[in-house]
Structure 1
Amino acid sequence: MPVAARGIEGTSESARVIFQAGYLLGMAAMFYRAVFFDMQYADHKHATWRHSEGTMKSKQSGVTLIGFLFLIIIVGFFAYMAMKLFPSYSESMGVSKAMNQIATAGTNGKTLDDIRRDLFFKLGFQYVDDATIKPSDITIKRDAGGGNTLNVDYDKQIPFMYNIDFLLHFHKSVPLQGNVGQ
């Protein structure tokens, strides 16, 4: 984890992922400028730019074709990664919304199977894929104070490229109102 990412306590995991992606993109931009624009580091804090003295009256500046292709490759890579990951996070938000609807509707006298059935019904309206959450991923835990908590804990594997996959783990807990039957 980058040093700067450790300083943001209390933020959500998705905010940390976005921060780290921005940090990596900034580092890639610094590398790009250092390679393609003759950046020299006198020390670690200050950078100086080397200007070549040409015979032309005006200095030309801009991005070369190789530099532009390098930039397109980096932006394309992160765009492809975002296109692969966004649907899973959108699906996770749908799971959270369906769980909150179940919790606010109340669960007096409902069994675990009834709650699972209601949750799967509501997940259908949230465009959550049927293969994403299995019935075994949904549990109800009884607290020490007698309250109940609905837990959904599931993993999603997303193929990225070649033999590289993303493995995302989602966990959501919602306190239930009312008593759960056996």
Structure 2
Amino acid sequence: MKNRQQGLTLMSFIVVLAVLGFFGYIAAKLWGPYYEFTNVKRAMDAVAGEAGSSNKSLPQLQNNLQKNFDVGYVESIDARIAKMDKEKFVIEYESRTGFVYNIDFVIKFNYAVALQ
């Protein structure tokens, strides 16, 4: 009976590491925009949850949102892009993140929250 060895060779191990490194690099590049979006959602929820937010004008809501952005370290988005749609406070924006050379990731974010 022959003893057959099983497992990864050095070359296949290097290939596996390269693939994992590639996807890890992508995840590291996309982490920032998605983390910032969670802060945008948190700020939108805070502004919409304030008492009487449905009675405020759009500039007042945008001003409150900008204050929450400043506290939540949201730096690449201006609160003036937020709009009102009936009884909802809506923000839509794109985030462009460089990947390698002339290749970018473009991510579209959209979030709407009901005013109280």
Q: Same fold (TM over 0.5)?
A: yes
- The 2-side partners of 1:114 and 1:154 are apart by 20
Question: Residue 118 of structure 1 aligns with which residue?
Answer: 64
TM-score normalised per structure 2: 0.89
Name stretches of at least 5 consecutive residues in structure 1 with no aligned partner: 1-52, 143-147, 178-182
- The 2-side partners of 1:90 and 1:112 are apart by 26
Shift of 1:109: 4.2
Query: Residues 149 and 74 from structure 1, CA distance in 2 versus in 1: closer, same or farther, beyond 3 angstroms?
Result: same
Structure showing greater relative contact order (alpha-carbon pairs closer than 8 Å, 6 or more residues apart): 2
Aligned partner of 2:102: which letter?
Answer: N
Percent identity between the aligned chains?
Answer: 30
Report the number of matched residues. 115
- For residue 168 of structure 1, the aligned residue among 92, 107, 110 is 107
Cα shift readout 1:41-74 (whole Å, capped 9, x = no counterpart): xxxxxxxxxxxx9xxx532222112111100110
Q: Assess if the C-alpha contact under 8 Å between 2:58 and 2:84 holds in 1.
A: yes
Aligned partner of 2:41: which letter?
Answer: S
- For residue 151 of structure 1, the aligned residue among 83, 90, 98 is 90
Alpha carbon RMSD of aligned pairs, Å?
1.7
**1:76 is paired with a residue of what secondary structure?**
helix
Q: Assess if the C-alpha contact under 8 Å between 1:132 and 1:156 holds in 2.
A: no
Aligned partner of 2:48: which letter?
Answer: A
Q: Assess if the C-alpha contact under 8 Å between 2:65 and 2:79 holds in 1.
A: no
Aligned partner of 2:18: which letter?
Answer: I
Shift of 1:141: 1.6
Flag the structure with larger Rg: 1
